Amino acid sequence: MKVCKNYIDGQWMESVSGQYTDTYNPANGTVLAKMAVSGEEDVDLAVAAAKRSFYETREWRDMDSQTRGDFILNLADRMDACRDELAYLDAVDMGKPLREAEGDVDDAIHCFRYYAGLIKAPYGGVYDVNEGFGKMHSYTVHEPVGVCGLITPWNYPLLMGAWKMAPALAAGNSIVFKPSSNCVLSSVRLFEIFEEAGMPKGSVNLVLGPGSTVGNAIASHPDVSMVTFTGSTAVGQSIMRSAAGNVKKIGLELGGKSPNVIFADTDLEGAVEWAMIGIFLNQGEVCSAGSRIIIEESFHDAFVERLAQRANAITIGDPLENPDMGPLVSEEQMNKVLGYIRKGIDEGAKLVCGGERYTEGACANGYFVRPTIFDGCTSDMTIVREEIFGPVVTIQTFRTEEEAIALANDTEYGLAGAVFTSDLTRAMRVIREIRAGITWINCYNPTFNEAPWGGYKKSGIGRELGIHGLEEYQEIKQININLTPGVVGWYEH
Ligand code: NAD
């Protein structure tokens, strides 16, 4: 059985306490691996190693961007050589269908390649100014922030790490990485790849363990200059408080309750399929999931009937057999989702399909939940207000465009949203009104390394991916040169 340890200062090591815990395969509840349970002392060791690597040995930080970029390309090639293994690990660890895990690994590899290229691109600005003291030439340089703490959730175990590690490393930072305890296997394998590739000692550190201790210790550590976090809004708020001590730079990618607004003039089959991708991909454990369908009243009956037919036909099973949906990540997550389903029924929503655990055949001991649709929902219902993070969608209706926009924005979240219509002018008008960072017209969920990702409102602060995603991990320094040296005459009157 795999024993997962911390990777600190170029060494695999047990936690200081020497404790381990089991990790589980959510498809059948069996033990998958042993994982080190770390604490504050382990974070101290990892941060000290990262600090030495950044401020003393400086090998990674001082590597010219051409060489550092090539190094990262080499990491990506090594990941590519392990593509099937990495995808297998995410599938058995997290429960996502293998084909989805393969797509995630491909995206993670592309993310490293993208930032390997971007770090070589021109950046910064040059300004010629006349500021009153005389002529000045001003320009900006981008510098790494220093020691960065990166904390990720379990829903895209490898990919969420890649979105942070690739830009943080491309920028020349040293990192301390903490993945979710639910899914650590692909992260451990990635750090083995870092080791095989010869990453300088202390530039990359992995600490495994609970968020309340390890995550919090990273977020509050005085020698960590930046913390970037992907996870729930409640923990994001706690990270903001912990990070206040030394005024860390922070990046927060938090929860969502995203609207999928569908007008009657759209293509029925297309809208149904994208709505399915919006809510049932990755078992609905997607931050940007289109979990609130907001549909024009005249289109409602045809749409719901077809969506229910398609949802009932979804195949559920062992992720390695490539069903449409695998299990939820853990028994705890399954119970949380089933609890929301009970609440929806109690609060008067109409259950159209699903609504229960799935235990057929080999799924008897796994954490499977049937795709679930609730109709007749209103904005005050808990299932409409709170992020469920499972295969559960709510349906509300509207009569006017204004009503659709009001319903879409009636949420404390602002991560994503979509609009379906064949009227392009209306599509552009409505999408501009939706208060969310990632939006789609006539599709749902496609994501690119090139475009910025992040939320409005309680869905977060900052952006990942794209040029913005690199700049998050950089300090920007302004350098001003006096072009007319000599006496200024300031004190002569
Ligand atoms: P979570 O907030 O429970 O945990 C996320 C990470 O934070 C884990 O590594 C966890 O161990 C750690 N953590 C927990 N308590 C902590 C604390 N007090 N201090 C520091 N770290 C702590 O979230 P989860 O259940 O792993 O993931 C699901 C959530 O992630 C959902 O809300 C989802 O919307 C969100 N998410 C957001 C995005 C995005 O891009 N906005 C992407 C994926 C997931």
Where residue 319 falls among pLDDT bands split at 50, 70, 90? very high
> Can you tell me the mean pLDDT for 223-231?
98
Closest C-alpha to ligand 1, atom 14: 211
State the first-to-last Cα distance of the chain, in angstroms, to the nearest integer: 81
Which residue from 37, 286, 287 has its CB within 8 A of the most atoms of ligand 1, so it is best to mutate? Answer: 287
pLDDT surpassing 80 at residue 251: yes
Q: Is the CB of 155 under 6 A from ligand 1?
A: yes
Q: Which of 216, 107, 125, 209 is nearest to 163 (CA)?
A: 107
Q: What is the distance in A from the centroid of ligand 1 to the CA of 35?
A: 19
The pLDDT of residue 485 is: 85
Q: What is the distance in A from the centroid of ligand 1 to the CA of 232?
A: 4
- Alpha-carbon distance of 387 to 105, in angstroms, equals 26
Q: Is the dihedral of CA 56, 62, 67, 70 positive or negative?
A: positive
CA distances from 216 to 52, 146, 236, 397 (A): 22, 19, 11, 42
Q: Is the CB of 286 under 6 A from ligand 1?
A: no
Summarised one tens digit per residue, pLDDT across range 268-315 is 999 999 999 999 999 999 999 999 999 999 999 999 999 999 999 999
Closest C-alpha to ligand 1, atom 16: 211
Q: Which of 263, 355, 363, 248 is nearest to 315 (CA)?
A: 363
Q: What is the distance in A from the centroid of ligand 1 to the CA of 164?
A: 14
Q: Which of 201, 271, 217, 243 is nearest to 38 (CA)?
A: 217
Which residue from 230, 367, 453 has its CB within 8 A of the most atoms of ligand 1, so it is best to mutate? Answer: 230
Q: Is the CB of 232 under 6 A from ligand 1?
A: yes
Q: Is the CB of 105 under 6 A from ligand 1?
A: no
Neighbours of 64 (CB within 10 A): 10
Q: Is the CB of 215 under 6 A from ligand 1?
A: yes
Q: Which of 105, 112, 102, 78 is nearest to 192 (CA)?
A: 78
Summarised one tens digit per residue, pLDDT across range 419-450 is 999 999 999 999 999 999 999 999 999 999 99
Q: How big is the CA angle at 355 (ends 353 and 360), to the nearest 5 degrees? A: 95
DSSP string, 105-146: HHHHHHHHHHHHHHTTS--S-EEEEE-SSSEEEEEEEEEE-S
pLDDT surpassing 80 at residue 48: yes
Atom of ligand 1 nearest to the CA of 253: 41
Q: What is the distance in A from the centroid of ligand 1 to the CA of 213?
A: 14
Which residue from 104, 155, 464 has its CB within 8 A of the most atoms of ligand 1, so it is best to mutate? Answer: 155
Exposed/middle/buried for residue 478 (C-beta within 10 Å: 0-12, 13-18, 19+): exposed
pLDDT surpassing 80 at residue 493: no
> Can you tell me the mean pLDDT for 350-378?
98
- Alpha-carbon distance of 446 to 466, in angstroms, equals 15
Q: Are 6 and 14 in contact (CB under 8 A)?
A: yes
Q: Are 284 and 256 in contact (CB under 8 A)?
A: no
Q: Which of 189, 258, 250, 244 is nearest to 418 (CA)?
A: 258
Closest C-alpha to ligand 1, atom 41: 253
Which residue blocks in 222-265 are alpha helix, DSSP H? 233-243
The pLDDT of residue 488 is: 84
Q: Is the CB of 212 under 6 A from ligand 1?
A: yes
> Can you tell me the mean pLDDT for 28-49?
98
Q: What is the distance in A from the centroid of ligand 1 to the CA of 367?
A: 20
Count CA atoms within 13 Å of residue 35 on its CB side: 27
3-state helix vs strand vs coil in the chain, percent to 5? 40, 25, 35
Summarised one tens digit per residue, pLDDT across range 180-204 is 999 999 999 999 999 999 999 999 9
**Hey, is 361 helix, strand or coil?**
helix
Closest C-alpha to ligand 1, atom 10: 211
Where residue 359 falls among pLDDT bands split at 50, 70, 90? very high
> Quick one: what percent of the chain has pLDDT higher than 70?
100
Least confident among 88-97, 276-285, 369-378, 475-484? 475-484
Query: How are beta strands 413-414 and 392-398 bridged, if at all?
Result: unpaired
Catalytic center residues: 253, 287
Where residue 344 falls among pLDDT bands split at 50, 70, 90? very high
**Hey, is 154 helix, strand or coil?**
coil
The pLDDT of residue 471 is: 97
Q: How big is the CA angle at 190 (ends 365 and 253), to the nearest 5 degrees? A: 75
């297998």: which residue's tokens?
88
